[in-house]
Amino acid sequence: MPPEPPVPSVLAALVTALRDGSVEVVDLTSPLSAATPVIQLPPEFGQTAVFELEEISRYDDRGPAWYWNNFRSGEHTGTHFDAPNHWATGKDLGDVASVPARRLIAPAAVMDFSAEAAQDPDFLVEVDHVKAWEAEHGPLPDGGWLLLRTGWDARSHAQEPFLNADENGPHTPGLSADCARWVAQESPVIGLGVETVGTDAGAAHSFDPAFPCHSYLMGSGKYGLTQLRNVAELPPTGAVVIAGPLPIVTGSGAPARVLALVERS
Ligand code: MN
């Protein structure tokens, strides 16, 4: 009897593919600095902090051979992960440290509405848009992410174009209330990823319910990823997202490094 052929190692194949470029790593994360845009709530509410560095020492009297900083940040500052307990509807569900590690590596369905959002910054994705995408590309991935491409990352260099607010509030694209409910309650995805400052559309303060993505997703134990960039580099199907939020115990979310693995032929 000839010896059994060796079982091919998936991870060895991945390492080879990363090295030869047939699997590319796309960084979906916005850099964190004091200039990183943050959400602005009406003045009667508490506000999230902008990111700040506080130098401890820089090869000087305070530490001759080393440089390091303290930092201050909101949990929801920059590219970040929304945990279920972020919203009242999910208050008894998990904190960000409790998200199972295996759920942090998951396939992505990428839908491109950048043309629609360029025409109308208040553009809303409806269930029919998602169903049309599924008719072309197949069903949404079980346990995966729905990533919304809107072109909004091109505005992420500064607060004003990114929030795009006027006297009526912010104008940024997102999901309709009905679509948010469908994604949360009827689709198999674990969450929604967006290029905008939050998972909800800018006008979602006046939707029914208000902030339906937060309300329905968190209430269903699902997640959010925000302020993504480079989503344009992902194919409609086949990318694998690696989302790494800081495991802040009891936290409602955390800044995250978000990467995607993409197979290039
Ligand atoms: Mn958030």
- Euclidean distance between CA atoms 228 and 261, whole angstroms: 15
Q: Is the pLDDT of residue 6 over 80?
A: no
- Euclidean distance between CA atoms 230 and 98, whole angstroms: 28
Local confidence band at 189 (pLDDT 50, 70, 90 cut-offs)? very high
Burial pattern 227-257, b for ≥16 Cβ within 10 A else e, equals: bbbbbeebebbebbbebbbbebeebbbbbbe
Tell me how far the alpha carbon of residue 82 lies from the centroid of ligand 1, in angstroms.
Answer: 5
Tell me how far the alpha carbon of residue 253 lies from the centroid of ligand 1, in angstroms.
Answer: 7
Give the residue, 167 or 69, on which the prediction is more confident.
69
Q: Is the pLDDT of residue 1 over 80?
A: no
What domains does the chain contain, in order, with CATH numbers? Answer: 24-46+75-263 (3.50.30.50)
- Euclidean distance between CA atoms 260 and 84, whole angstroms: 23
Selected catalytic residue, list 80, 86, 129, 171: 86
Question: Taking residues 156-178, what's their average pLDDT?
Answer: 95
Burial pattern 66-96, b for ≥16 Cβ within 10 A else e, equals: eeeeeeebbbbbbbbbbbbbbbebbeebebb
Q: Is the pLDDT of residue 259 over 80?
A: yes
Question: Taking residues 207-222, what's their average pLDDT?
Answer: 98
Q: Is the pLDDT of residue 112 over 90?
A: yes
Q: Is the pLDDT of residue 54 over 80?
A: yes
- Which of 38-52, 118-132, 212-226 is least confident? 38-52
Question: Taking residues 31-51, what's their average pLDDT?
Answer: 94
User: Is 171 tagged catalytic?
Assistant: no
The DSSP output letter for 137 is H
Q: Is the pLDDT of residue 117 over 90?
A: yes
- Euclidean distance between CA atoms 263 and 260, whole angstroms: 10
Tell me how far the alpha carbon of residue 214 lies from the centroid of ligand 1, in angstroms.
Answer: 9
Q: Which helix (H) or strand (E) holds 258?
A: strand 253-263
Tell me how far the alpha carbon of residue 3 lies from the centroid of ligand 1, in angstroms.
Answer: 54
Per-residue pLDDT at 144: 98
By C-alpha distance, which of 148, 152, 153, 135 is closest to 180? 148
Per-residue pLDDT at 4: 79
pTM of the entire predicted model: 0.95
Q: Which helix (H) or strand (E) holds 253?
A: strand 253-263
Cβ(56)–Cβ(70) under 8 Å? yes
Tell me how far the alpha carbon of residue 23 lies from the centroid of ligand 1, in angstroms.
Answer: 30
- Euclidean distance between CA atoms 123 and 76, whole angstroms: 23
Q: Which helix (H) or strand (E) holds 71?
A: strand 63-72
Write phi, then psi, for 209 (nearest 5 degrees).
Answer: -75, 165
Mean pLDDT of the chain: 96
Tell me how far the alpha carbon of residue 133 lies from the centroid of ligand 1, in angstroms.
Answer: 26
Tell me how far the alpha carbon of residue 257 lies from the centroid of ligand 1, in angstroms.
Answer: 14
State the sign of the Cα–Cα–Cα–Cα dihedral 147, 207, 168, 118: positive
Tell me how far the alpha carbon of residue 59 lies from the centroid of ligand 1, in angstroms.
Answer: 36
Question: Taking residues 129-147, what's their average pLDDT?
Answer: 98
Per-residue pLDDT at 8: 82
